[in-house]
Every structure is written in C-alpha cells, then in structure tokens.
Homo-oligomer: A and B are copies of this chain.
Amino acid sequence: MRVILVGFGVVGQSLAKLLLSRSADLYSQHGIKPRIVACVDNKGSAVAPAGLDLERLLKAKAKGGVGLYEKSERFEPQQVIENVEAEVVIECTPTDLLTGEPGTSHIISAMRTGKNVISINKGPLALAFPSLIELANYNGVMFRFSGTVGGGTPILEFAKRCLKGDRIVSFQGILNGTTNYILSKMEEGLTYESALADAKEKGYAEAKPELDTDGYDAAAKLVIMANWVMGMKVTMKDVARTGISGVSVADVKKAQSRGNAIKLIAACDSRRLEVKPTEVSKKDPICVNGTLNAVTFSSEHSGSQTIIGRGAGGMETASAVLRDLIEIRDTIFER
C-alpha cells in the first residue's frame, strides 16, 4: 500500500519509527506493507515511487527537513498529492481551527484524485466535516481520522464498532488534557495563572494556550464525534463554547466541599452541543485527573460506558493512524 505523508512533525515521525520497528509483524499479522512513497514538510519534499528509506528520511528531518533526503527538485504539497501515485494520503500538518488550512486543501486534492485519506489534523474536520464526508463518498474513497480524538485511545472506534446494534443517545467527555491538567492542579491549591504556568513548563500547554483554555480544541473534537458517532451535520459554529479562564479557586473549592470537581465537559445529545466547565461527582468514572481524557457514551439498551486514556502523545497517535491504515487496507482488499 503506497502512502503519501503530508506534514512530518511529531506524529509523522513517530509513524515512521513505528513502521520501521514493526514492518515484519505488520505484514505477518495484518498482511499490510505500507510504503511511504512521498513525504512533504514545510520546507521541502522527498519522493520515491519504490518507497522512501525511513531511516534516511528521519535523519534528513533531524538535519533540517525532508528536502535533504536527496538532491532533487522541490515539490509543493499539492503537486505531490495530485501527481504521485498512492492509495492513501496521511494529512498531518498543524491544526488551524480558524481557516482549516492547509489541511482542507490537501484533503480535497487527495480525494479528488481518488486517494483514501487519513487525517490527524482536526482543523478540516472541525470546520467542514459534512462536506468532506460527502466528497469522500462522491469520489468513492475512505476518510478516517481516529487520531483526532483521544490520541491513541480508540474513542471513535469504540463508539462505531463496539456498540453496533445499539443506538448511542448521548455522550459527554473530557476531551482536552491540558485544561484537565490545569483544573486538577487548581484542586491541589494552585491559582489558574500558576497552574497554567506549570502546564506550560511541563510542555502540556502551548505558548499561546487559548486553543486549549478557551475550549476550541475540545469543541473541535466534539464536532468530530457528533458527526461521526451521532450522524449530525455540524461544525464549530454550532458549539456553545465556554473556556476555563473564568474558573476561580473558590469555585473549585466549593465543588470539592460537595465531593465534586470542576471539569471542562464537552457534551452532545439531541438538543445540545456544548463545551463548558461543569461540576461532576468524583465518583463518576468520567472524573479523571491530570492529562487523561474520558468519554461516557449512553446507549439505548446497553447502558452507559466510559472509556479513559491518554489523549495525546506522538507514538500513541501514530498507533491510531496505523489502525486506520489497517482498516483501509482491509476494506480495499475486500472490494
């Protein structure tokens, strides 16, 4: 299976390492032999129809960019996506929740040229999920994005596959590890400002943390789940969103005195699509600490189930991409 990698950051590099270390058992156990035929980063490109040498590719990246892989012409992402023959394009450029670019353009080009798409970029999905799904169907290609929600924790797969035959009527969850870390630290007595500073120091929060603290990241994941799990046709603008910057130490203490905790809860049912700080019982399985993510699905017949795991991590997210690759391969094979 030929794969084009668009973007080569932490997840892309983790995927390359994963493929290197597991090539033998991936073939023996899943009959899958992914070949990276092209890789593009923000500075250059590397193309090899017979498959790139992943060790050399990682070394080139470490030295400055995939363009150093070999002396050759530099191609733009669009050129590579449109012209290199491949079964799958993996879109892993940085997420932009305002414009969705350049991911959206990459995905559209890939689908238009008949390629299956795996995205770990949340931007295109948060802003244009319904139309991207339509485009995939129109072009007869598969579109998967397991790594966009929950990192390596298979939240989307759980909902789609494990609860087959039942109907999920609602779900709610902690979908952003950074804000959960900050709120957990506030429970330990830190102010919002010092908890945020601590999260930055530990590498959990970005220099500009608003994407997390204002609830944009959680809202993007909520949109993806609402579309995929509940069959809604919604985008970011449909989410009622409140961040955590207004949560005070006094609020946290008050909740604590009632045996509760304040969590940034993303919730979806037939009436609402909402991200906001919410008081939840400490006895509720959803009430996890630190950078963990947790989602509770409520189904018509099989009750409520909660799934908990780390919501981030390069290798974890790369393993989600690998699951998508295996699914695409299995489906192509069945055709």
Contact = CB atoms under 8 A, between A and B. Distances in A.
A292 B151 CA distance: 26
A180 to B, nearest CB: 13
A153 B30 contact: no
B313 A303 contact: yes
Given A161-B162, A162-B161, A309 B303 contact: yes
Interface stretch (A233-241, A250-258, A282-290): A282-290
A306 B309 contact: yes
B309 A308 contact: no
Nearest to A17: B301
Contacts of A158: 154, 158, 162, 307
A304 B323 CA distance: 16
B326 A164 contact: yes
A152 B302 contact: yes
Interface residues of A, number: 46
Contacts of A334: 334
Contacts of A318: 301
Most B CB atoms within 10 A — which of A316, A325, A327?
A316
A55 to B, nearest CB: 19
Interface in A276-314: 283, 285, 288-289, 292, 294, 299, 301-310, 313
A323 B30 contact: no
Contacts of A302: 152-154, 309, 315-316, 319-320
Copies in the complex: 2
Question: What secondary structure prevails in chain A residues at the interface with B?
Answer: mixed
**Closest CB pairs A-B (n = 6):** A152-B302, A154-B162, A305-B309, A302-B319, A301-B319, A306-B308
A327 to B, nearest CB: 8
A262 interface: no
B165 A305 contact: no
Given A165-B323, A302-B316, A306-B308, 19 more contacts: A26-B165, A30-B164, A30-B165, A152-B299, A152-B305, A154-B162, A154-B163, A154-B305, A158-B158, A162-B162, A162-B323, A165-B319, A165-B322, A166-B322, A301-B316, A301-B319, A302-B309, A305-B308, A307-B307
